Structure 1
Amino acid sequence: MPGAGAAASAGAPGEVLLQATGLHAWYGAAQILYDLDLYVRRGEVVALMGRNGAGKSTTLKALMGLLARRSGQIRFMGQDLSRSAPQAAARLGLGYVPEDRRVFTDLTVLENLEVGRQPERRWPDGTAAPAWTPERLFALFPNLGAMPHRPGGRISGGEQQMLTVARTLMGNPLLLLLDEPSEGVAPVIVEQMARMILELKAQGVSILLSEQNMHFAELVSDRAYVLEKGQIRYQASMAELAANEEVRLSCLGV
């Protein structure tokens, strides 16, 4: 199977925004990731698939610079982030939505959004990137639009998930690292998350998605990397993964 770098250089459409080569990561003395190669192109949704403990969330944290110990090369928007702090990645337009939400419970929905506000951005070719406002986000997430002045601690878990995504979008990211958006939320919220991802993709925003829900990943993703014990065991288009029963059963259990 060819490596990610080979695929990226073989004339695949769309410029590569994020690329990791030889990525290793540790929690303390315990190594979690082993020699990962992956990339995400402009306007592409890529799923990181795998069972619990496979290393999906750790991969996103390593890319964002949230781990004290990592090695390998990480490039985003032409810049080397291999040894950069998370704020450097955020300033370049790399957004991160954690699985555990982390809303400010004493702040209102609107105030939570304002915390995430960053200036408008441009793509490398100079064209304007999507710019988000509370009004646009309320159209995308009607539940939040119905409660702009409600404290973050007084909305449901699914609404907190939406608020976390919306707050990150206020930073006008060019690429979004999205950790388990469908985990533990009601089906109606999952549907809104899927619509949100597809709308972002239509505007050219890229998404690297950590996900266990095969059906959700199929709805929104172009390609997939399957992780097992901190290593990439399989990579292909989402359609190829969906058709590969052997990989789905052995690595995903579906």
Structure 2
Amino acid sequence: MTPQASSVLLEAQGLCAWYGAAQALFDLHLQVGRGEAVALMGRNGAGKSTTLKALMGLLPRRAGRVCFLGRDCSQEAPFQRARAGLGYVPEERRIFTDLTVDENLEVGRQAPRHWPDGRPAPVWTPERLWTLFPHLEPMRSRPGGRMSGGEQQMLTLARTLMGQPLLVLLDEPSEGVAPVIVDQMAEMLRALKAEGVSVLLSEQNLGFAAEVCDRAYLLDEGRVRFEGTMAALLGEPALRRAHMGI
């Protein structure tokens, strides 16, 4: 079930994107509602990360319409979308390796926000983040370059939350990290949903996505092959085999 129009935070209409002369996304339509976690599923190269980059305005050549909080932001720069409350967690993490955990979090800090109806949005502080990421607090003085891959993944998520996002674009968070970290990230995503924060999750790990996501879009070769509830996707083994190989 798609979200009601009044609750839609992010919407893409006819989204296309290119890398040089090669088209990577074809006429993609999607919606993410308030407090909803939505999965972008598919194989490597299906267009999942490209979709997130296009939504964030990170690809130089793209077409179609992107609306955030009911406003067309298609021509806005990435920093303008971030200032409006659109958070982005890249697959590469991109933490500042010479800065400590505390310093990385401070770099991401933005002022508290309000929802479109005027109500205050959740406010994320380092102290509050320690409850979501308890492994980070003992590392507050540790440089990012001296952390494991899973610890860096938690840090980049926490840094994004310091930007007080209303919606988070999250790229392949479970890739290459230990199962205990994956479990902690699932807890964190459920906590965000409970606060009304939305997540658009690019993911290949069907089990992880099924734990936290309400709906799913299945991509293959830059096109949407399925849109529906996560339960419906789980009930389509032939479709998953054809477009995900599982």
TM class by shorter chain equals over 0.9
Structure 1, residues 53-107: CA drift from partner, whole Å, max 9, x if none?
0000000000000000000000001211111100110011000000001110100
Aligned residues of 1:51 and 1:251 also touching (Cα < 8 A): yes
State the partner residue of 1:182: 174
Structure 1, residues 166-186: CA drift from partner, whole Å, max 9, x if none?
000000000000000100000
| Amino acid across the alignment from 2:110 | Q
Structure 1, residues 25-75: CA drift from partner, whole Å, max 9, x if none?
001111100000000000000000000000000000000000000000000
How far apart, in 2, do the equivalents of 1:165 and 1:14 lie?
Answer: 28
Aligned residues of 1:14 and 1:42 also touching (Cα < 8 A): no
State the partner residue of 2:46: 54
Distance 1:58 1:115, change over 3 A: same
1:21 pairs with one of 1, 10, 13: 13
Structure 1, residues 202-234: CA drift from partner, whole Å, max 9, x if none?
000000000000000100000000000000011
Residue 224 of structure 2 corresponds to residue 229 of structure 1: no
State the partner residue of 1:100: 92
How far apart, in 2, do the equivalents of 1:176 and 1:200 lie?
Answer: 10
How far apart, in 1, do the equivalents of 2:22 and 2:134 lie?
Answer: 42
1:160 pairs with one of 152, 167, 171: 152
| Amino acid across the alignment from 1:61 | K
Residue 80 of structure 2 corresponds to residue 88 of structure 1: yes
| Amino acid across the alignment from 1:155 | M
% same residue = 66
How far apart, in 2, do the equivalents of 1:14 and 1:193 lie?
Answer: 29
1:217 pairs with one of 187, 209, 220: 209
Q: 1:36-55 maps to which residues of 2 (within 5 A)?
A: 36-55=28-47
TM-score by length of 2: 0.98
Q: 1:54-133 maps to which residues of 2 (within 5 A)?
A: 54-133=46-125
Q: CA deviation at 1:14?
A: 6.2
Aligned residues of 1:14 and 1:43 also touching (Cα < 8 A): no
Moved runs in structure 1, 4+ residues, more than 2 A? none
Partner SS for 1:207: strand
Q: CA deviation at 1:114?
A: 0.2
- Gapped regions of structure 1 (runs ≥ 5): none
- TM-align CA RMSD: 1.1
| Amino acid across the alignment from 1:163 | L
Partner SS for 2:65: strand
1:173 pairs with one of 155, 165, 173: 165
| Amino acid across the alignment from 1:191 | D
State the partner residue of 1:146: 138
Structure 1, residues 136-186: CA drift from partner, whole Å, max 9, x if none?
111111111111000000011100000000000000000000000100000
2:193 pairs with one of 190, 193, 201: 201
How far apart, in 2, do the equivalents of 1:147 and 1:121 lie?
Answer: 28
| Amino acid across the alignment from 2:204 | Q
State the partner residue of 2:126: 134
Aligned residues of 1:20 and 1:37 also touching (Cα < 8 A): yes
| Amino acid across the alignment from 1:165 | L
Q: CA deviation at 1:13?
A: 8.1
How far apart, in 1, do the equivalents of 2:33 and 2:201 lie?
Answer: 13
